[in-house]
Amino acid sequence: MEIASEKQSAVIEHKSYARVGLLGNPSDVYFGNTISFSLGNFWASVRLEPSTDLVIVPHPSHDLVQFNSISHLVNRLQNEGYYGGVRLLMAICKIFHKYCKENNVTLHDGNFTLSYETNIPRQTGLSGSSAIVSAALSCLLDFYKVRHLIKVEVRPNLVLNAEKELGIVAGLQDRVAQVYGGLVYMDFGKNHMDELGHGIYTPMDVDLLPPLYLIYAENPSDSGKVHSTVRQRWLDGDEFIRSTMEEVANIAVEGRKTLLEKDYIKLAALMNHNFDLRRRMFGDDALGAMNIEMVEIARRVGAASKFTGSGGAVVVFCPDGHSQVKQLEDACHSAGFSFQPIKVMPSFLNDIDCQTLGSK
């Protein structure tokens, strides 16, 4: 019994939550500013258990390799795609090891078994992939006892680099929200990014937020395809894209002040304007009819709405209160969309994490 108890105590588990980009996205990829928060409705959890060999455990449903028939296999691929979480866990192990080696962080020789669970809906722009990676990174920090040696500000870069290894198109915003937890204002100004290698991240009080709601589709489009043409045009110096993206970034700057003042009428206007600017840049074909309908369904009842990420889910504020919420809920159910109140998770940085903040 004693041996079993010791083994149990050596097991490390971490959760990482979905995130909502409230204002300023997608300017995080363009040296802009954003405000995001941790969404407690959905999460990924990773479990690390010491073992003789290093083992990455395939998930019984997300990494399925056994099927009833070829039709079952084809349907599965059409709905879920080719990739589960195993590749994500492998990638963060590689990136973590590389970072430690390059920064003279010594790792002990022990091995481990990694497994994961997730209930984050796929391709909803709620950062399901990075949640798995972020939770795994936390496990690695604790297993190797190096949490105090790797700055909190650097950790989102490690998560993003793991995803970049796999060709996932993304920015730092989501990873910052998942590493820090709570409500965070982010400044990705070029001078910070060039000098520090990361942005300036300022936690805010989650109580500044009004009640918010989530709309999402059960079968959304792939969020990874939405950035493509705008990114190239921005790199090419397209004046319209550059100036509009700057305007999007400024929405987060204004939004920070708006939240601190609890001016929720202004917040509603900023949320709507954020989406309108995105729509102007990307165009309806890139955004997708279903994604646009989720925004419009909220607007038809007078609510403010915008994408949580790149599409697949929408964050909504109902300034007129309960009757408006009920009206929207009914409209979503009629249209076949999922609708639920948003639960905001507070920051989950511990004392060791906080001691690394801003350290050299």
DSSP, residue by residue, 293-338 = HHHHHHHTTT-EEEESSSSSEEEEE-TT-HHHHHHHHHHHHHHT-E
Residue 219 is predicted with a pLDDT of 66
Residue 291 is predicted with a pLDDT of 92
* Catalytic, out of 63, 142, 174, 285: 174
Phi, psi of 55 (to 5 degrees): -125, 130
Residue 38 is predicted with a pLDDT of 95
Residue 333 is predicted with a pLDDT of 95
Residue 5 is predicted with a pLDDT of 39
Residue 65 is predicted with a pLDDT of 74
**Angle in degrees, CA 299, 305, 309, rounded to 5:** 145
Residue 345 is predicted with a pLDDT of 95
Q: What is the mean pLDDT of each run of 10 residues along the chain (360 residues)?
A: 47 95 93 96 96 89 79 79 82 97 96 94 81 96 96 95 86 92 95 90 96 87 56 92 96 98 98 97 89 96 94 94 97 96 93 78
From CA 199, how far away is CA 19, in angstroms rounded?
18
174 is catalytic: yes
Residue 197 is predicted with a pLDDT of 87
